[in-house]
Every structure is written in C-alpha cells, then in structure tokens.
Structure 1
Amino acid sequence: MCEWHDVFQPIFQVDKDLNPSVDHYEMLLCDQNGKFPIDDFFRVIGTEEDNQQWTQISSISKSI
C-alpha cells in the first residue's frame, strides 16, 4: 500500500462585492504523487465494516 497523507484545501465564500473569505476546509486524501489513491483505498474499505474501521482510525489519528 502507498503512503497516504491529508491535504486541507480551503473553500472560499465570495460576497456580493467579490470579497473572498475562507468558509471551511475540505480534507483530501493523497498518495505520494499527490493523487487520490483510489485502487488502494477501495481495497482497504472493501466492506461496510472496513469503512467504519477506517473512519474510526482516521478520526483518532486526526485528534492526536
């Protein structure tokens, strides 16, 4: 499996005067090439149980 990392991408809100401000961030999962690791990722979360485990592990690692 590839090494993965998170990238946080800002999502902007633009007001009526075209003034931008960061509204929130989107978290993107990337491999060492900066791309979403689609094949490896879906192998890891092949079942609903795997998906729940991945979500739990991800949320714990983000809080450390």
Structure 2
Amino acid sequence: MSHTFTGTVSGMTCGHCVASVTEELQELPGVTAVDVTLETGSVTVTSDQPLDREAVSAAVDEAGYQLV
C-alpha cells in the first residue's frame, strides 16, 4: 500500500532548488517517488509507509527551504 504526502514549499526559484528539495526528500525512509513543481511550489511524496509532516518539513529545511 502506498501513502502520499502533499504540501507546498516556499522559496524555490530555479531547477537547482527543485533538485535540492527532491534529493533531501528521497532520503526519507520508505520514499518511492518525489514530484516537485517549481511554478506552484507543490510537492508530492509517495512512500510505502506513512510520512510524518515533521520529517518532511525537516528534509525541506535541510535543503534550505520551508514547508508551508
């Protein structure tokens, strides 16, 4: 069974930003896919286990951005 987390990341301005956020989110345990849209800031993370908002937020923070 897969689980999906959807949120918005603020502060991204370019493809490098998207790559940084994607890389950090892919490091979370159980993550199978990450989709980040620069124009809207939307992020969708698919995993094989439930994701805690705090864990996702910490990964986004590590990339230098903020989950809103």
TM-score, normalised by the number of residues in structure 1 = 0.28
**Greater radius of gyration (CA):** 1
TM-score, normalised by the number of residues in structure 2 = 0.27
